[in-house]
Amino acid sequence: MEYKVSLSKPYITQEDIAVVTEALNSSQLSLGQWTRRFEESFAQSIGTTYAVAVSSGTAALHLSMRALQIAPGDEVITSPFSFIASSNCILYEQGKPVFVDIEEETLGIDPLQVEPVITGRTKAILPVHVFGQACDMDSIMNVANSHSLSVIEDCCEAIQTQFKGKNVGTFGHMSTFGFYPNKQMTTGEGGMLLTNDEQVYRMVKSLGNQGRGTNLEWLVHDQLGYNYRISELTAALGYSQTQKLPEILEKRRELAAFYIEELAGIDAIKLPKSNSDTEYSWFVFHIRVDQKIRDSLLVKLNEKGIQCKAYFYPCIHLQPYYRERFGYQKGMFPIAERVSREVIVLPFFTTMTQEDVYTVKDALVQSLSEL
Ligand SMILES: *Cc1c(COP(=O)(O)O)cnc(C)c1O
């Protein structure tokens, strides 16, 4: 159906189109200057030394597991309240995702729950910064450091989210970003792995390019690798979008503030709330409602032309595949499960207007009155 206000929309300008056209007109469509420029400018915008641009956020996550040499049975501690890719990447290497519950406030893993599940097989912690909020990185890094564990930050929803004044993605040993069209900035499909570790950088560069030696000799393969390369067209778009990040993030901040102002009087909903440690990078605009009314409210809003969704429902451990394979059951991670039954994400995108917000608000008020 045609929605009056859609859930998300990419923000593509004439400048983006001009840059992609320039890349298209060059004779080099892969492994060229645009990939380099995208990597350099993106790493700089977050604050790390090295970057490897890849074909998706999931590819970046998978490469992080390979770089850590996750082997069958190795354990990685992560969040059940996330998009499934942050956990699937562990399974790609026959590792075991060990879930811990989340904090009500950050919606990220609760650092206090991490230590009790650490075993001799634990190799890493993989916190996910969901909805553009930050996990408690101080506490997570403390636990990781005291047990010599690596930390991979999944920043796919948190481009330039700050924790205590520092960008997420600069705390752990590696961090991953994704540029699917619903993210703050997009390349259609695409991703990035960031690190300050030169050895990890070289390893990931090689693994994403069929395991070629770092001197990139044409047909010499040092290890099992993949084709996770990004094309020059995609990288050119990524470069162009990176230049606009300050503008994009500012527009989204203003929009979120307007949304919060407009919806503040509605009793039945809980609005997203910053905590003092986090500077949001707005990915989605989520509200929380009583779980008894969530699903019927979703139906009513969608019927009224407001495209919205439950996020993330069900939790990863309750996904059919995970239940079957690991025997997870309801009740194991009560906060994550409750939050996943309360959240609705409303339309939110860089070019959304105040008029659109009024349309969503009217539909929301009307829908609530019909329940
Ligand atoms: C979008 C997203 C990913 C994966 O990104 P893709 O580019 O779609 O592979 C991973 N983790 C989280 C939390 C995401 O939101």
69 Cα–ligand 1 center, Å:
21
**How many Cβ atoms are within 10 Å of 293's Cβ, its own excluded?**
17
Sheet holding 50-54, edge to edge: 50-54, 191-195, 174-178, 150-154, 122-126, 75-78, 96-99
pTM of the predicted protein model: 0.97
Block means of pLDDT (10 residues each) for the chain, 371 residues, are: 93 98 96 97 98 98 98 98 98 98 96 98 98 97 98 98 98 98 98 97 94 70 92 98 98 98 96 89 98 98 98 97 96 98 98 98 98 93
267 Cα–ligand 1 center, Å:
32
Which secondary-structure segment (H or E) carries 346?
Answer: strand 343-346
> Whose CA is closest to atom 13 on ligand 1?
83
Ligand 1, pocket residues at CB < 6 Å: 56-58, 82-83, 85-86, 128, 154, 156-157, 178, 180, 191
Question: What pLDDT score does 219 carry?
Answer: 65
52 bridge partner residues: 193
Q: Is 144 exposed, middle or buried (0-12, 13-18, 19+ CB in 10 A)?
A: buried
Question: What pLDDT score does 218 carry?
Answer: 62
175 Cα–ligand 1 center, Å:
12
- CA-to-CA distance for 88 and 8, rounded, in angstroms? 25
Structure tokens at 132: 């553009």
- CA-to-CA distance for 155 and 143, rounded, in angstroms? 20
Atom of ligand 1 nearest to the CA of 180: 7
> Whose CA is closest to atom 4 on ligand 1?
57
Of the candidates 191, 226, 174, 214, which has an alpha carbon nearest to the alpha carbon of residue 67? 174
Question: What pLDDT score does 121 carry?
Answer: 98
Q: What is residue 151's three-state secondary structure?
A: strand
Which secondary-structure segment (H or E) carries 287?
Answer: strand 285-288
Substitution candidate for ligand 1 out of 65, 79, 86 with most atoms within 8 A of CB: 86
Question: What pLDDT score does 274 carry?
Answer: 76
The torsion defined by the Cα of 29, 30, 32 and 35, in degrees rounded to 10, comes to 110
Question: What pLDDT score does 31 carry?
Answer: 93
- 8 Å CB contact between 209 and 202: no
Question: What pLDDT score does 51 carry?
Answer: 98
Question: What pLDDT score does 26 carry?
Answer: 95
